[in-house]
Amino acid sequence: MPQAPALIGNLVASALGRPAHVLDLREPAAGFIELDLRAAPPPGGWHPGHEVQFRVAPTLGRRYTVRTVNGADAEHIGVLVATEATGPGTAWIRRLRAGDQLTVLAGRHRPPRESGTRRLYLGDGCALGTLDALSRYGEAPIVAVEVPADAVAALADRWPRHRFLPAAQAPGDALQSWLERAITEGELADVDAALLLGHARSIQRQRRLLIDSQILTRRAITTRPYWANGKEGL
């Protein structure tokens, strides 16, 4: 998965599936849904930033990220989902209701490779849950997220420590403009590592700018593309 014959999907589900049910759903901003789930933990337990999958159709899976784990209840997790795309994942999420039973596919937590202590986190709306989960660690991280313009105000109220940028016409342009300005103004002078998530082409541009500007070396930058032009049907 995320796309596999139904038989393979059944085998993966039998090996990695965890029973879960929906506790609550909220819409913190236009184009985003927060899921509260109670789910049996995988080996090693749940962790913020834990990658999970849901089978949204017999032959389709979609990957998401655990944003929160309730310390008092190790089975209570939160997942933030961007619903701007109109693919099967969005349709499946929008059909969920409190009390629904489902299966979460998850193995042991494998966090992304990160170096440094004062990190820069960049991504678009589909990466917000991951960025929020991972940026809780380190020293004064800088988090910039490109989101639909009509979601900026609500998201900024919900997560005031992040910088939300209204998306321009082309993916990544708003983040690229912000990054160029931040470099010129010296805002990233103390940054020693970066995690770049989301749109594949935008990640390439961001990495090249950080390296060419001598802000970071290639080894200090971790990337994880989530989608590309023509393949955004989440």
Based on the fold, state whether residues 70 and 163 are members of the same structural domain: no
Residue scoring higher pLDDT (6 or 137): 137
Question: Does residue 110 fall inside a structural domain?
Answer: no
User: Percent of the chain beyond pLDDT 70?
Assistant: 94
* Rounded mean pLDDT, 171-181: 97
Based on the fold, state whether residues 123 and 215 are members of the same structural domain: yes
Distance CA 100, CA 3 (A): 23
Residue 220 pLDDT greater than 90, yes or no: yes
The last residue of a domain, from among 75, 105, 135: 105
Q: What is the CATH number of the domain that holds 55?
A: 2.40.30.10
Based on the fold, state whether residues 142 and 99 are members of the same structural domain: no
Based on the fold, state whether residues 88 and 174 are members of the same structural domain: no
Q: What is the CATH number of the domain that holds 150?
A: 3.40.50.80
Provide the terminal-to-terminal Cα distance of the chain, rounded to the nearest Å.
Answer: 13
Based on the fold, state whether residues 95 and 154 are members of the same structural domain: no
Model-level pTM?
0.90
Residue 156 pLDDT greater than 90, yes or no: yes
Question: Does residue 47 fall inside a structural domain?
Answer: yes
pLDDT bin (cut points 50, 70, 90) of residue 3 is low
Residue 232 pLDDT greater than 60, yes or no: no
pLDDT in tens, 69-98: 998 899 999 999 999 877 888 999 999 999
Question: Does residue 181 fall inside a structural domain?
Answer: yes
Check residue 2 and give its pLDDT: 64
Based on the fold, state whether residues 98 and 137 are members of the same structural domain: no
Based on the fold, state whether residues 178 and 206 are members of the same structural domain: yes
Q: ∠ at Cα 176 (173, 81), nearest 5°? A: 70
Provide the domain limits for residue 177.
119-227
Check residue 1 and give its pLDDT: 45
Q: What average pLDDT is seen over the chain?
A: 91
